Amino acid sequence: MPACLLSASLCMPRVQVAIEPWSAGSGIPEAKCVLNGINITQILSPRTVLCKVVGVIFALASGLPVGKEGPMIHAGAAIGANVAIGPRCIKFLSEFRNDRDKRDFAAMGTAAGVASAFRTPIGGVLFAIEEGASYWNSELTWRAFTAACVAIVTVYLLRSRGLSLLTDPLDSHDMFIFGQFSSATDTDFYFWELIIFTAMGVLGGLMGVCFIAANKQLNVWRRARLGSSRVLRLAELVCLVTLVSVVAWFLPLAAGRCRPVPTHVEGWSESGVRVLNSLVRHNCPAGHYNELASLFLVEPDQAIKALFHLGNGTLSWHAPALFFVAYFALECLTPGAWVCSGVFIPTLLSGAALGRCTGQLLGRNPRTYSIMGAGSLLGGVMRMLISLTVIITEASGWVLFVLPLMVVFLAARSAGNHFNDGMNDTQILARRIPFLQHQPPESIRQQNVRVHQIMTQEVKCLQPVETVERVYRTLRSCDHNCFPVIDGESRPFRRRYTLRSVLLGTILRKTLLVLLARRRFAPPSADDASMPRPLPVLAWGDLEGRYPKYPRMEHLDLSEEDGRCLIDLAAYVQVGPHSMNEHASAHRAYEMFRTLGLRHLTVVNHFNEVVGIISRENLLPCNLQQPKPKVGSPLPRRRWRASGGGGSSGGGGGDGASSPQKRSSRRRERSIEKMLQRATGMHKGA
């Protein structure tokens, strides 16, 4: 058996990962990023899905402590997104070929993925809501609801294996992946035990903190020592699988106690009786089972059912305790290895073992305690509340668990969040994905930071009519995705207030690339040398028809003569884009990014002149450690940090160091400066 585990493990998962690096890991962080509005094409590509699905099958077969639910969720999101950008020939789907609908479809796919992974349709929708809450809306609720409903009907149909559905009632036990709890004696608890559950939740939260911190350190070590060397990564995987196989085989031999299989099962629930079939004999005499082997040498689902449903007197307290120690340690090692893996089921399993051991030691109902133990560790690692409560309730079929589970998850989350972020957020941070949390970073919230302190000043601007050469050079010179279109020349920003560079709109890189590729440029027209010869406008369908595959720089074929042609961007500009005054608070900018799902925001001054741009990168905590003290602000530096309170109405003296100019705009500028001084005095001081 260990040989079989070893061989299965070695053949494929690594190959999958080598083909498509995004298919490694659990997939939940990726799904979360997609729902947050981040567009990383590879995450959702069909190749990733395929690698993930095949990879997870082999990973499970290898016996590693991994779960299939993370990859199923990722696969669900990817399938959803690929339906949205499906074959162009299907007319009905063509209106969904844009980022927003793709994201919505990914959310629906996520819901369906969770629904089929745990057979919990409501849990699926809630998972998508809780993870993707930044752009949730009621429209999306019913779509995700429908997707989850269809997914679960499909699962029912597939599991029915034929037409028995028409003649027999549903096998309810089959639909609960944790086995159905169906009687009050299975699950009783006293009200005062909520206090114990709270303590278990806190403990689970702290263990989650350790798990996440240990795994993070391990992954730092992995990146430093193993890098992306295929040989080293494969060697690591071989070691890991060998270790798991050895522990799973020999620990039961060494420490597992043999017990006779119970025969008197009256009073047992049906789920408990069913579990008896999956007990493992291992080295025991006939009619007996090895306690530890029944946990180690079965599928994780079965082990969970055994912990949840076996009656009193079938497991001694030290079997789950030993199992917990060994399994939890192995589980810490796995995330980050080059294997498709979820932590959901393994965490649940080790938590259940811990809970069962606690329950038996306290002399309480071990079934209830194993559920609560599973919840506490899961809550400590995942830090979600409502979706986890519903998933566990739905998957165990016992509604009375709702209240204790809520208590456990609240305790675990509160304890855990005190020390570090949840597993998914930690992984997202480690991958340096520009994911925006709901709460802005501390530095923005605390310090009354203004937009101009966090913006990027180097903006590449375009004018409504440009030469092809300049457009091409602009695209070449940076990897910005959004270019403000301004009226007049783009001047250096130290000399603002020349009233030349008023923001007219923005244009996207992809639009420029399509225009260049489709050769929408012409030599100057006869009557107006500053305008190109009139050309028919490219329709929306032509611009966006190739979504999401736009022409690429290296495929453009432009001659020197083309370079002198003019290109008229006016028809393609987004007029009146989202913009923000440089003195507005950065907190507000963050909120706009987060709630409207923006990717960039043009920063303007009081005359609507472009002075900077903000993208998601500007808002990440790592880039915000020290907001710049003062950039591009007309406020005199010495007053910026002056504490207000008294004398906000100070005269107009002491403004900036710029040379006096005789422009009419200068007077206005001064009065605005004066006003801003007073305003800032108040904002800082009050």
Residues 601-620 that bind its own copies (CB under 8 A): 604, 606-608
Q: Does 565 bind its own copies (CB under 8 A)?
A: no
583 binds its own copies per the rule CB under 8 A: yes
User: In degrees to the nearest 10, what's the CA dihedral of 166, 169, 174, 177?
Assistant: 110
152 binds its own copies (CB under 8 A): yes
Site residues (CB under 8 A) for its own copies, limited to 366-405: 385-386, 389-390, 393-394, 397-400, 402-403
Question: Considering the rule CB under 8 A, would residue 536 count as an interface residue with its own copies?
Answer: yes
Q: Is 483 in the site for its own copies (CB under 8 A)?
A: no
Q: Which of 18, 57, 156, 238 binds its own copies (CB under 8 A)?
A: 156
* CB-nearer residue toward its own copies: 105 or 289: 105
Distance CA 647, CA 664 (A): 29
**Would you count residue 537 as binding its own copies (CB under 8 A)?**
yes
Which among 644, 646, 652 is positioned nearest to 672, based on CA atoms?
652
Sign of CA pseudo-dihedral 151, 156, 158, 164 = negative
CB of 140 to its own copies, least distance (A): 9
279 in contact with its own copies (CB under 8 A): no
Contact 35, 106 (CB under 8 A): yes
Q: How far apart are the first and last CA of the chain?
A: 71
Q: Is 416 in the site for its own copies (CB under 8 A)?
A: no
Residue 167 lies near its own copies (rule: CB under 8 A): yes
Using the contact rule CB under 8 A, the part of the chain among 48-56, 124-132, 249-257, 320-328 near its own copies is 124-132
Q: Is 661 a residue that touches its own copies (CB under 8 A)?
A: no
Establish if 90 lies at the interface with its own copies (CB under 8 A).
no
Q: Considering only residues 247, 321, 570, 642, which one is a binding residue for its own copies as defined by CB under 8 A?
A: 570
According to CB under 8 A, which residues from 29 to 48 bind its own copies?
A: none
Q: Are 6 and 566 in contact (CB under 8 A)?
A: no
CA distance 286 to 605: 83
The pattern of x and - marking residues 495 through 524 that bind its own copies according to CB under 8 A reads ----x--xxxx-------------------
* Of residues 4 and 502, the one with the C-beta less far from its own copies: 502
For residues 451 and 586, is the Cβ–Cβ distance under 8 A? Answer: yes
Cβ at position 315, least distance to its own copies in Å: 23
Name 281's Cβ contacts closer than 8 Å, sequence gap at least 6: 288, 289, 290, 293
Q: Which stretch binds its own copies (CB under 8 A): 9-17, 167-175, 278-286, 349-357?
A: 167-175
Site string for its own copies, 426-455 (x = CB under 8 A): ------------xx-----------x----
* 571 forms part of the interface with its own copies (CB under 8 A): yes
**Which tokens hold the place of 32?**
């979360």
The answer to whether 646 contacts its own copies (rule: CB under 8 A) is yes
Q: What H or E segment, with its residue span, contains residue 613?
A: strand 610-615
| Interacting residues of 484 by C-beta distance below 8 A, sequence separation 6+ | 459, 461, 462, 503, 505, 506, 577, 602, 610, 613
**Binding of its own copies at residue 175 (CB under 8 A)?**
yes
Q: How many residues bind its own copies (CB under 8 A)?
A: 132
Cα-only R_g, the chain: 30
CA distance 366 to 187: 9
User: Exposure pattern of 64-97 as b/e (b: 16+ CB <10 Å)?
Assistant: bbbbbbbbbbbbbbbbbbbbbbeeeeeeebbebb
